[in-house]
């Protein structure tokens, strides 16, 4: 972990340099408005990150770059947003890593279950050399990765029964993101994993066509999932990053000084969201309990970790050397 601490320090130094460069005058720049979209509501961490980013960009470009935020999937689901960024109909977004991995397969290494033991270990990898390499790979599909915000550690909810061991998942219809690692993880655990967009999942839970889903506490709370999901398991089975990502058409039309501002502002907004999520989780869990949700906070994690070993066997070699490098960094 020490090597990653040095990487993080180096990034901080580079950002300090960028901040100095940002004192340049934007008066001669033609004003630009960028459309930033996400699929969740205004109480969610994605929106908190987006608003912080909006404020920082406006301040540091002296108003030359403004950010319009489109929440609640008003411009489409996450795959639609990414495709829109590629062709220039959407400028940028805060997007969950799972859908991004459908464009760059190596990004799915972060989706492997029980990979990161703590948020801090995830931040060290994401903000270090490995994370930056993967952000840079997005250029291959006409996207620009700016920084890693977070979806957070994901937990299971369902409307049927408490889940303490993998056996308790048998036959449950669980919505997962449209990403094969998630699908195979939950099928390996014995669930009927059903990939679907989040907007569809909300309706499916209300109608009872699926039994459950998996998401971080902040999502479960902000979308009031206790109204359809009576049980939650603090499985923390996957740490899910989210990305500040732009389409190359929007990125390329900005001058370098504005690009520098956006890169730094995205990193700072991401770190702000991480802090807010950590501060809010305890109160959110208490609110869910008070609303009647039964929360299993001591599942048999060892049994879950053993059960997902076939997922590592199937996917480990697909990510080049990234899995090995991450595992070595975490030792």
> Is residue 313 assigned to a domain?
yes
pLDDT band at 18, cuts 50/70/90? very low
> Is residue 242 assigned to a domain?
yes
> Is residue 98 assigned to a domain?
yes
Q: Are strands 294-296 and 212-215 parallel, antiparallel or unpaired?
A: unpaired
d(CA 42, CA 119) in angstroms, rounded, equals 23
Residue of higher predicted confidence among 79 and 178 = 79
Question: Dihedral through CA 37, CA 40, CA 43, CA 45, nearest 10?
Answer: -70
Residue 67: which of 273, 256, 266, 274 has the closest Cα? 266
Mean pLDDT of 21-33: 76
Mean pLDDT of 38-43: 92
- Residue 10: is its pLDDT beyond 90? no
- Residue 16: is its pLDDT beyond 50? no
- Residue 4: is its pLDDT beyond 90? no
Strands (E), the chain: 32-37, 65-70, 92-96, 143-158, 173-176, 192-195, 212-215, 231-247, 294-296
> Is residue 158 assigned to a domain?
yes
pLDDT at 197: 87
Residue 159: which of 218, 238, 223, 233 has the closest Cα? 233
pLDDT at 8: 44
- Residue 25: is its pLDDT beyond 80? no
d(CA 68, CA 51) in angstroms, rounded, equals 9
C-alpha triplet 156, 327, 317: angle, nearest 5°:
85
Residue 163 falls in which region: left (phi positive, over 0), alpha (psi -120 to 50) or beta: beta
User: Using one digit for the tens of pLDDT, what is the confidence trace for 205-237?
Assistant: 999 999 999 999 989 998 999 999 999 999 999
Computed over every residue of the chain, the mean pLDDT equals 91
Question: Which one-letter DSSP state was computed for residue 282?
Answer: H
Q: What is the total count of domains within the chain?
A: 1
Instruction: Say what percent of the chain tops pLDDT 90.
Output: 83
How far is the CA of 328 from the CAs of 109, 135, 309, in angstroms? 14, 20, 18
d(CA 262, CA 145) in angstroms, rounded, equals 11
Residue 240: which of 145, 143, 112 has the closest Cα? 112
DSSP per-residue letters across 74-112: TT--HHHHHHHHHHTSS-EEEEEHHHHTTTSGGGGGGGS
> Is residue 80 assigned to a domain?
yes
> Is residue 23 assigned to a domain?
no
> Is residue 22 assigned to a domain?
no
The residue count of the chain comes to: 331
How far is the CA of 46 from the CAs of 43, 128, 245, 270, 301, in angstroms? 8, 22, 12, 9, 28
CB count within 10 Å of CB 331 equals 5
d(CA 93, CA 54) in angstroms, rounded, equals 12
pLDDT band at 316, cuts 50/70/90? confident
Q: Is residue 28 classed exposed, middle or buried when 0-12, 13-18 and 19+ CB atoms within 10 A define those classes?
A: exposed
- Residue 7: is its pLDDT beyond 60? no
Residue 45: which of 98, 88, 95, 89 has the closest Cα? 95
- CATH number for 313: 3.40.190.170
User: Using one digit for the tens of pLDDT, what is the confidence trace for 149-197?
Assistant: 999 999 999 999 999 999 999 999 999 988 888 999 999 999 999 999 8
Structural tokens at position 249 = 């058409």
> Is residue 95 assigned to a domain?
yes
Mean pLDDT of 77-97: 97
User: Using one digit for the tens of pLDDT, what is the confidence trace for 251-298?
Assistant: 999 999 999 999 999 999 999 999 999 999 999 999 999 999 999 999
pLDDT band at 24, cuts 50/70/90? low
d(CA 125, CA 325) in angstroms, rounded, equals 10
C-alpha triplet 272, 122, 213: angle, nearest 5°:
85
What is the three-class DSSP state of 210? coil
Domain range spanning residue 263?
2-17+28-329
């Amino acid at each position: 972990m020490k090597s990653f601490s040095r990487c993080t320090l180096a990034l901080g130094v580079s950002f300090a340099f960028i901040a100095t460069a940002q004192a340049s005058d934007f008066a001669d720049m033609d004003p630009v408005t960028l459309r930033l979209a996400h699929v969740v509501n205004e109480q969610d961490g994605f929106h908190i990150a987006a608003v912080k980013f909006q404020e920082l960009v406006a301040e540091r470009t002296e108003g030359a770059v403004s950010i319009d935020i489109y929440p609640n999937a008003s411009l489409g689901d996450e795959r639609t947003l990414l495709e829109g960024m590629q062709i220039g109909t959407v400028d940028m977004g805060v997007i969950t890593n799972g859908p991004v991995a459908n464009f760059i397969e190596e990004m799915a290494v972060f989706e492997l279950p029980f990979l990161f033991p703590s948020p801090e270990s995830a931040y060290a990898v994401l903000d270090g050399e490995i994370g930056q390499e993967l952000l840079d790979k997005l250029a291959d599909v006409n996207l620009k990765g700016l920084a890693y915000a977070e979806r957070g550690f994901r937990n299971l909810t369902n409307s049927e029964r408490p889940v303490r061991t993998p056996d308790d998942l048998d036959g449950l219809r669980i919505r997962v993101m449209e990403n094969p690692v998630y699908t195979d993880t939950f099928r390996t655990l014995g669930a009927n994993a059903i990939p679907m967009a989040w907007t569809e999942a909300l309706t499916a839970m209300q109608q009872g066509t699926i039994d459950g889903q998996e998401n971080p506490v902040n999502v479960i709370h902000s979308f009031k999932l206790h109204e359809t999901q009576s049980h939650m398991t603090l499985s923390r089975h996957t740490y899910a990053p989210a990305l500040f990502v732009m389409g190359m058409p929007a990125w390329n039309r900005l001058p370098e000084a504005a690009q520098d501002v956006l890169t730094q502002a995205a990193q700072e907004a991401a770190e702000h969201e991480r802090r807010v999520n950590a501060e809010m989780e305890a109160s959110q869990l208490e609110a869910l309990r008070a609303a009647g949700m039964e929360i299993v906070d001591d599942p048999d994690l060892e049994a879950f970790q053993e059960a997902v070993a076939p997922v590592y066997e199937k996917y480990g070699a697909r990510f080049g050397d990234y899995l090995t490098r991450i595992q070595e960094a975490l030792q």
